[in-house]
Amino acid sequence: MKIVRAKDYYDMSRKAANIISAQIIMKPDCVLGLATGSTPIGTYEQLVEWYKKGDLDFSSVTTINLDEYRGVTKEDPHSYYYFMREKLFSQVNIDLSRTYIPDGMDDDAQHACRFYEEIISRCGGIDLQLLGLGHNGHIGFNEPGTAFEARTHLVNLTEATRKANQRFFADDENVPRQAYTMGIKSIMQAKKIVVVVSGKDKAEALCAAVQGEITPNVQASVLQLHNDVTIVADQEACSLLEV
């Protein structure tokens, strides 16, 4: 596991984007696993900037997103489909038919999860997976206690996770209670993993993930077992890490 210490959020975003852009340049038809949430936004903005300068070409790239709220349509501004379209897909030359996000409107959970795993397999697996880090150490929507062996599955979101996402919704009642997410086993099969972490409020979670015991109670701790993980974190997020 490699830890890249960044000065601030902007520096973190640029350093993470550097790793992703290198992957695209080295393998133009690569498969990128993408994350949503506030932390990766700066990374996507940097990638868009480099694309507009002519430094990146997304035309052969395939993307597979981590998760999606259940019961939320693609047109809903709260959906991760909408998020990805606004933050990245509509601003680069990516082929939308090669972008995959779980179908939040599929009421058959078994079908939705099995179908998504088939997509990952059909694409040949993920070359580089981008992750954020939850306050409780979760990655994707894999809540504490979820088995490491889980593949794509339906999650009942904890109140802590729903509260963390409440700022994106009008009120608490509108925050979805379930989501489809790639499981830890699916994430760990990515060839390379990049985690972006920003802010003092993530310092405890990062410390537990990097220097604590490997336990399902801190889902990100399993990343210690992967052979190619780079964590890009700003100074505040790194404040509790041993030198």
Which residues form the catalytic set? 67, 136, 138, 143
Per-residue 3-state assignment (H helix, E strand, C coil) for the chain = CEEEEECCHHHHHHHHHHHHHHHHHHCCCCEEEECCCCCCHHHHHHHHHHHHCCCCCCCCCEEEECEEECCCCCCCCCCHHHHHHHHCHHHCCCCHHHEECCCCCCCCHHHHHHHHHHHHHHCCCCCEEEECCCCCCCECCECCCCCCCCCCEEEECCHHHHHHHHHHCCCHHHCCCEEEECCHHHHHCCCEEEEEECCHHHHHHHHHHHHCCCECCEHHHHHHHCCCEEEEEECCCCCCCCC
